[in-house]
Amino acid sequence: MLEAHKDIIKGREVVSDDWSVLRLDEGQTADHVEVHEGKIIVPLQVWLAQRATLAERAHIGVWLAPDEQASALKDDLDKFGVIAIDFPKFTDGRGYSIAFNLRKRLAYKGELRAIGDVLRDQLFSMHRVGFDAFATRQDRSIHDALKGLTVFSETYQASVDRELPLFRRVARDVPAEHIDLGAGI
């Protein structure tokens, strides 16, 4: 089954989406499902089963389920126009770790998209770990969801979007002998 969103959030604006997401129907297998032409984001299992054929395409993406590892793509990252991470329930946070690993450990520089049960309240945190595109739930206003990227003006922790925690970014009147206090924490 192909899912298509009319609009997504990308680069902090609502844009038209020209990618479709392939989801396997019951009874379909990864090695026998037909992957139509065009900009298609396929499940990891389809990529692994049909890699030889799909790697030749100009426009191919892959999506990961929360129980899959980003390391499965480490040798193929340059082949994808987009990598998506599925959030089957908004309460399932494993996709945040997958995104962080893609950006920080595997140095993925391409589009990283959140798909599935993606809500406004998640966008700020998703952006912090490396997501730069969001296919929000279609039963909610995408323009309202866009506001979720700007709900906080400051962050305390280091992440993909900020390399240093707040205590390292703010200048304080601290005696020189205490400058490294807390280093390595």
What is the C-alpha separation between 167 and 170, in angstroms, rounded?
A: 6
Mean pLDDT per 10-residue run, the chain (185 residues)?
83 93 92 93 97 94 97 95 95 94 96 96 93 94 88 77 78 65 55
pLDDT value of residue 185: 54
Q: Domains of the chain by range and CATH?
A: 2-156 (3.40.50)
Q: Of 158, 146, 70, nearest to 108 (Cα)?
A: 70
Q: Are strands 133-134 and 111-116 parallel, antiparallel or unpaired?
A: parallel
What is the C-alpha separation between 132 and 108, in angstroms, rounded?
A: 12
pLDDT value of residue 23: 95
pLDDT value of residue 1: 74
What is the C-alpha separation between 81 and 94, in angstroms, rounded?
A: 22
Kindly report the pTM of this predicted structure: 0.84
Where does residue 92 rank: exposed (0-12), middle (13-18), buried (19+ CB within 10 A)?
middle
What is the C-alpha separation between 59 and 79, in angstroms, rounded?
A: 9
pLDDT value of residue 132: 95
Q: Helix, strand or coil for residue 116?
A: strand
Q: Of 93, 105, 62, 102, nearest to 80 (Cα)?
A: 62
